[in-house]
Structure 1
């Protein structure tokens, strides 16, 4: 049964991580670690004037499932707002923990990980990249708010 979890699609996504690395001057950086397995994601973002992800880089050290989730995220995140990322994270969490259908719209590709719901020990590693991305975007937006308040 676990062989079904590591499908060719999952392994392909894991092996082809878009936007790997770090940004030289990010507006926001997020980091998440899955305590159970040690999977880690560090994400850097820069935003456009509407607060959408304009530039994105990710340094992900995770199992194939965490890498696959980061692969889908990397394919879809440019142009995304904080609300879209938050909705995708919430839908992903519901898909894994309570039988939800999964993300829709630009992040619908994360549904490829629906079978991970049957493996609770893998939930945290599957979420590290999207949670780090949301943290990075929120940090960038908070920095802009502080700058606007100081002006």
Structure 2
């Protein structure tokens, strides 16, 4: 058994989301919603010259699991590329779907283990990754 779904660590993470202010002039911005649960995440990014996130602004309206996942991502997103974010998202989604043993190697991802057997929560958990990846795409659309 993987423990209580809304355990102390999930709740601690849910109330400790960094970078919760939207950015005034982002290089990329996006808002995504989950059709499954109604969660919403908006993300703004400013990129360094080498395409890494140098600033992040994120706003989340989701369950505690979606908020905890956002906190885990936001705490580690600075300095990451779109490729890094996509790889972390795919590994986490694979874990939730049962194809990986571990949720990922970023700090605190292990706390999401309790959600594996709750498919209705999976969309909220990967949503912040989708928002940041969509923000990268809006930047790429402007560059092209």
Q: Quote the Cα distance in structure 2 between the aligned partners of 1:86 and 1:2.
A: 26
Does residue 113 of the first structure (1) align with residue 112 of the second (2)? Answer: yes
Which residue is equivalent to 1:149? none
Aligned ranges for residues 1-151 of structure 1 at < 5 Å?
4-100=4-100, 101-104=102-105, 107-144=106-143, 146=144
TM-score, with structure 2 as normaliser: 0.92
Normalized per residue, the structure richer in helix is 1
Spell out structure 1 runs of 4+ moving beyond 6 A: none
Displacement, 1:143?
2.4
What is the aligned residue count?
Answer: 143
Once the two structures are superposed, what CA deviation does each residue of 1:116-138 show, in whole Å capped at 9, x if it has no partner? 11000000011111110111123
Aligned equivalents of 1:36, 1:142: Cα separation in 2: 27
Instruction: Please report the TM-score for the alignment, with normalisation by the length of structure 1.
Output: 0.88
The answer to whether the Cα contact below 8 Å between 1:47 and 1:140 also exists between their aligned partners in 2 is no
In structure 1, distance between residues paired with 2:136 and 2:108? 20
Cα offset, 1:110, TM superposition: 2.3
Q: Which runs of 5+ in 2 are unaligned?
A: none
CA shift digits 1:43-97 (9 cap, x unpaired): 0001000000011010100000000000011110000011100100100100101
Question: How far off its partner does 1:108 sit?
Answer: 4.3
Q: Unpaired segments of 5 or more residues in structure 1?
A: 147-151
Give the number of the structure whose alpha-carbon radius of gyration is greater: 1
Shift of 1:141: 3.3
Offset, 1:36: 2.1
